[in-house]
Chains A and B, each alone.
Chain A
Amino acid sequence: MTMSPRIRKLALTLHVATSVGWLGGVAGFFALAVVGLTSADEQTVRAAYLSADLMTRFVLVPLSVAALTTGIVQSLGTTWGLFRFWWVIVKLLLTIVATALLLLHTQPIAFMARAAQTSLAAGEHADVRLQLVVTAAAAIALLLVTTVLSVFKPPGATRYGWRKQREERLVARA
C-alpha cells in the first residue's frame, strides 16, 4: 500500500523527528553516564543517575519505539518497501538492535537510580557505571550509522526487491 504524498511527508517527518530525537537523547544520556563514572562529587553523581533513569523511561524508550514503528510504517507505505533494498534491511536490523540494547539496559539504569536515592560512594558499582558509558557510546555509533544509511541510501536491491520492481514494470506496460 503506497501512501499519498502528503501522508508520506507526515510519516517521514515523524520518523525523522523521533529518530534524531532518540540520537540526541542518547548523547545526553552518554554525558550523564560519563559524569556518573568520572565525577568525584557524590551529589553530582547521584543527580546524574536519577536524571538518566528519568530520561530513559520518559524520553529514550518512547522515542526508540516510535522511531522503530514510524520507520516500519514509512517503509511499508512507500515504494522502498521493507525488504526490497539492502540499506532498509540493515537499518531495520540496527534499529532493532539499538532498541533491544536500550530495553535491556533499563534494568542497570534503574539499579543505579535506586542506589543514587540513598548514597553512592566513589567507585561503588564501578562495573555498572562503565557498562552504561560503553553501551551509550555503542548506541550513538549505531544510531549514527542508521542516520548515514537514511541520508545516503547506498544502492543495492535485494533479490525480492528486484523481482517486485520487474513485476511492477510489466504491469505498468500492460
Chain B
Amino acid sequence: VADLPPDADADEAPGPPRWVLAFGTVAAVLVVVFVLVHLAGGGFRGHLHG
C-alpha cells in the first residue's frame, strides 16, 4: 500500500480519470432508478408512527 501520494508530473492540470467518470455514471443511474421506483410507488412505504 502506497502511503504517500505520487508527484504531479503532468504539465497541464488533469481532468477526472476514466474510473471517476464511470463511477459518477453508475451513481447517477442508481439515483435515477431509486427516484423512479419511489415516484412509481414501488418503494418502501414506512408506517413508522403506528
Complex contact B44–A128 (CB within 8 A): yes
How many residues on B have C-beta within 8 angstroms of the other chain's C-beta atoms?
20
The 3 A-B residue pairs whose C-beta atoms are closest, nearest first, are A156-B17, A165-B8, A131-B44
Known: A79-B4, A84-B5. Contact between A156 and B10, CB under 8 A? no
Complex contact B7–A169 (CB within 8 A): yes
Q: Among the listed A155, A158, A169, which residue makes an inter-chain contact with B6, where contact means beta carbons less than 8 Å apart?
A: A155
Where chain B touches its partner, the secondary structure class is: loop
Where chain A touches its partner, the secondary structure class is: helix
Instruction: List residues of A whose CB falls within 8 A of some B CB.
Output: 78-80, 84-86, 90, 107-108, 111, 125, 127-128, 130-131, 134, 151, 153-159, 161-163, 165-166, 169
Min C-beta distance of A166 to chain B, whole Å: 6
Known A128-B46, A157-B14; 8 more pairs at CB < 8 Å: A86-B19, A86-B20, A90-B20, A125-B47, A127-B46, A130-B44, A161-B5, A163-B13
